[in-house]
């Protein structure tokens, strides 16, 4: 089985790091409820202000459909609102 992997690196002010972590569970719950093909995610703190979100999708089409929805639900919007700057966004295949 091939998995589509979303790699998103972003910056969050260190004083807002806890708000990001606190917003994460609701964001994941919204993804589980609303995003077809969402398999799971890992949030990695790279430096004091830089984070890497690794999200697994069943297919490139599921990932594209999720991207099109953007911050359509409160949990997703609250998580995105804490992000100060997008550093990079990539897509790859695992398996």
Each residue's pLDDT, cut to its tens digit, for the chain (95 residues) gives 799 999 999 999 999 999 999 999 999 999 999 999 999 999 999 999 999 999 999 999 999 999 999 999 999 999 999 999 999 999 999 97
Res 95: pLDDT: 74
pTM of this prediction? 0.94
Res 41: pLDDT: 98
Res 25: pLDDT: 98
Does any domain span residue 95? no
Res 62: pLDDT: 98
Domain around 9: 3-90
CATH number of residue 46's parent domain: 3.30.70.100
Query: Could you tell me which of 42, 64, 51, 40 has the C-alpha nearest to residue 18?
Result: 51
Phi, psi for 75 (deg, rounded to 5): -65, -40
Structure tokens at 11: 């910056």
Q: Are 52 and 8 in contact (CB under 8 A)?
A: yes
Number of domains in the chain: 1
Distance, in Å, from the CA atom of 24 to the CA atom of 27, rounded to the nearest integer, reads 5
């Amino acid at each position: 089985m091939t998995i589509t992997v979303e790699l998103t690196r972003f910056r969050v002010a260190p004083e807002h790091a806890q708000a990001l972590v606190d917003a994460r569970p609701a964001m994941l719950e919204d993804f589980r409820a609303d995003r077809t093909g969402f398999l799971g995610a890992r949030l990695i703190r790279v430096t004091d202000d830089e984070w890497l979100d690794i999200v697994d999708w069943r297919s490139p089409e599921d990932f594209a459909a999720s991207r099109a929805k953007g911050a359509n639900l409160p949990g997703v919007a609250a998580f995105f609102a804490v992000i100060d700057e997008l550093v990079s966004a990539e897509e790859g295949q695992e398996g």
